[in-house]
Amino acid sequence: MNKKSIIILAAGAGTRMKSETPKVLHKISGKPMLYYSIKEALKLSDDITVVLYHQFEKVKTEIEKYFKNINFVIQDHKNFPGTGGAVMGITPKYEKVLVLNGDMPLIQASELEKFDISATIVMSVLKLESADGYGRVIIENGNVKKIVEQKDASSEELSITTANAGIYQFCSKFLLENLAKLDNNNAQKEYYITDLVEMAISQGKVLKPLIVNEENFKGVNSKVELADAEVIHQNRIKKEFMKAGVIFRLPDTIYIEEGVEIKGESIIENGVSILGNSKIINSHIKTNSVVENSIVENSDVGPMARIRPESKIISTHIGNFVETKKAILTGVKAGHLSYLGDCVIDEGTNIGCGTITCNYDGVNKHQTIIGKNVFVGSDTQFVAPVTIEDDVIIGAGTTVTGNVKKGDLYLTRAKTKTIDGYFYKHFAKKTNEKK
Ligand code: UD1
Ligand code: CA
């Protein structure tokens, strides 16, 4: 494939999203919509220009977290609003230029490669049951005649179901020569990129329609379409993992973000969310657990456990209602109801039910370090910073406030007190009073 330039249009206000957040920053599988078109564009080109206007600083800052070497330009939106105005003033590096919409997060490089056709304009066309929301493609005698926007269409044109998918390849020379000729003589008073189609035809240029499928070219203009696109994207993510050997129980109930890795013989049960850049290796994540930006290897987690960022769970059993954060656990058992934050816990150690690492003193966070083969009794609090050496027993109900040496038993326990028959005395009196 010949090298080509790519322009991604992302300057629109996105009013139909009804949101303060710029449209292209709305997330699909944890990443902004615009991330996906840039990611695919980078597979094909080293000359990528993203056109911004509304809240451009916010969009640029967010996108620069993921990509370098992208050109950003700001559209002269006041004077030249519209998709045509968006491409004005850009000089593509290569002979051909692909124009993509930033609101098409399901686009794939393999689909964009299909535009590699010799013509002045290659335009993507959808054959739909209803073309509602799209520009209609007017075809006469088998040839594309023009594109008419929904808002400008006559009732006859509105019934057309051949739609403009919104991605084009132009000869750069044609684009540069004709952009200045666009006008805003239409219902929205905007400069439409789609008017270039009619111009090319009147100049006798070669124009080729490329029939594309709706799934990859779906535009996101509303929160409904955002949710629809995310469902498709989620299915893609999960299918890839299933093909690689991962088991998903009731996959429709599972949410896996872009950036997650799952390897080996892993099982992901229903209701699980795996977020950020988590890595799951040969592990079993049980019903309704959440794993965020963490590594889980040769371990089982849940049901209903929460593995918060920067945890590293290796050869470990995490049971229900256990929360971890920045916890490095290797060969540990934490079966029930615990909070393990800012801690390092080593092999053979058993964390009793109700254990809490008290990592926050109201100002700073502190670490709990627990060695090998430690038996932590139920309902223990570690008031960090504390270090527990190997082979230690912590008695149930203990508040650990200092370091514990190898081999010791550590417990805090108030002296027990028994009063013979007190129950009967206490309640008998109360009962008498009431009478
Ligand atoms: C556009 C097409 C329509 C097509 C549809 C496919 C035009 C005039 N219409 O309509 O034929 O069926 O896409 O999805 O092109 N943008 C800018 N600057 C602007 C306006 C928009 O950069 O001044 C960007 C938006 O951020 C968006 C893209 O261009 O990423 C498309 O704009 P949008 O308003 O969504 O166009 P549609 O009405 O969907
Ligand atoms: Ca759109």
113: left (phi over 0), alpha (psi -120 to 50) or beta: alpha
CA 101 – ligand 1 centroid, Å? 7
Would you state the pLDDT for residue 80? 97
pLDDT tens figures, 360-404: 999 999 999 999 999 999 999 999 999 999 999 999 999 999 999
Nearest ligand by distance to the CA of 13? 1
Q: Which residues pair with 143 in a beta bridge?
A: 140
Would residue 36 be called left, alpha or beta, if left means φ above 0 and alpha means ψ between -120 and 50 degrees?
A: alpha
Ligand 1 pocket member 12 (CB < 6 A): yes
Q: What local confidence, expressed as pLDDT, does residue 339 receive?
A: 98
Give me the sign of the Cα torsion angle 394, 395, 397, 399. negative
54 is catalytic: no
Could you give the CA distance from residue 418 to residue 178 in angstroms, rounded to a whole number?
Answer: 96
d(CA 194, CA 173): 17
Q: For helices 56-64 and 33-42, what crossing angle results, to 10°?
A: 50
The span from the CA of 87 to the CA of 73, in Å, is: 9
pLDDT, position 430: 63
Q: pLDDT for 278-303, tens place per residue?
A: 999 999 999 999 999 999 999 999 99
CB neighbour list of residue 427: distance below 8 Å, 6 or more residues apart: none
The mean pLDDT value for 414-426 works out to 94
**Pocket flag, ligand 1, residue 194 (CB < 6 Å):** yes
Q: Is residue 6 over pLDDT 60?
A: yes
- The residues, any chain, with a CB within 8 Å of residue 260's CB and separated by 6 or more, are 237, 274, 275, 276, 277, 278, 279, 280
More confident residue, 429 or 277: 277
How remote is the C-alpha of 26 from its chain's centroid? 10
Query: Under a CB-based contact definition with an 8 Å cutoff, are residues 411 and 398 in contact?
Result: yes
Does ligand 1 come within 6 angstroms of the Cβ of 149? yes
Q: What is the mean pLDDT of residues 14-34?
A: 96
Check pocket membership of 84 for ligand 1, CB cut-off 6 A. Answer: no
Binding-site residue numbers for UDP-N-acetyl-alpha-D-glucosamine are 9-12, 23, 82-83, 135, 149, 164, 221, 308, 325, 339, 350
Q: 5: CA distance to ligand 2 center in Å? A: 21
Scored b (16 or more CB within 10 A) or e, 286-301 reads bbbbbbbbbbbbebbb
Q: Is the pLDDT of residue 161 over 50?
A: yes
Query: Which of the listed residues 21, 79, 83 should we mutate to test ligand 1's pocket, taking the one with most ligand atoms within 8 A of CB?
Result: 83
For residue 164, the model assigns a pLDDT of: 96
Tokens coding 199: 């111009």
| Residues flagged as binding site for acetyl-CoA | 359-360, 378, 396, 413
270 to each of 227, 236, 256, how far by Cα in Å?
A: 19, 17, 12
Indicate the pLDDT class of residue 72, thresholds 50, 70 and 90: very high
Per-residue model confidence (pLDDT) at position 140: 83
The token pair that represents 108 in the structure block:
């794939």
φ/ψ (deg, to 5) at 431: -60, -40
Instruction: Please give the angle made by the CA atoms of 83, 88 and 93, to the nearest 5 degrees.
Output: 115
What pLDDT sits at residue 340? 98
Nearest ligand 1 atom to alpha carbon 52: 22
Q: What is the pLDDT of residue 286?
A: 99
The residue type found at 67 is F
Cα(234) to centroid of ligand 1, in Å?
25
CA–CA distances in Å: residue 51 to residues 34, 55, 83, 87? 11, 12, 10, 8
Nearest CA to ligand 1 atom 13: 166
Structure tokens at 86: 């968006």
Mean pLDDT, rounded, of the chain: 96
For the record, the structure tokens of 272 come out as: 């699980």
Give the tens place of pLDDT for each residue, 80-109: 999 999 999 999 999 999 999 999 999 999
- Give pLDDT tens digits for 321-367: 999 999 999 999 999 999 999 999 999 999 999 999 999 999 999 99
Beta-carbon-side half-sphere exposure of residue 91 (alpha carbons within 13 Å): 0
Q: What is the DSSP string of 309-372?
A: TT-EEES-EEEEEEEEEEEEEES-EEEEEEEEEEEEE-TT-EE-TT-EEE-B-SS-B--EEE-T
pLDDT at 311 over 90: yes
Ordered structural domains, the chain, with CATH: 4-211 (3.90.550.10), 223-410 (2.160.10.10)
Type of residue at 293: N
pLDDT bin (cut points 50, 70, 90) of residue 145 is confident
Q: 26, 77, 233, 336: which is the annotated catalytic residue?
A: 336
Contacts of 405 (CB under 8 A, 6+ apart): 389, 392
Cβ of 368 closer than 6 Å to ligand 1, yes or no, is no
| C-alpha closest to that of 321 among 308, 340, 302 | 302
Q: What percent of the chain has pLDDT over 70?
A: 98
22 lines ligand 1 (CB under 6 A): no
Binding residues for Mg(2+): 103, 221
CA-closest candidate to residue 203, choices 232, 221, 181, 227: 181
> Is the CB of residue 45 less than 8 Å from the CB of residue 3?
yes
Instruction: Evaluate whether 203 touches 175 at the Cβ level (below 8 Å).
Output: no
Give residue 431's pLDDT.
Answer: 56
Alpha carbon distance 49, 327 (integer Å): 42
Count of alpha carbons within 13 Å of 99, Cβ hemisphere only? 29
Residue 434 has pLDDT above 80, yes or no: no
User: What pLDDT, on the 0 to 100 scale, is given for residue 435?
Assistant: 46
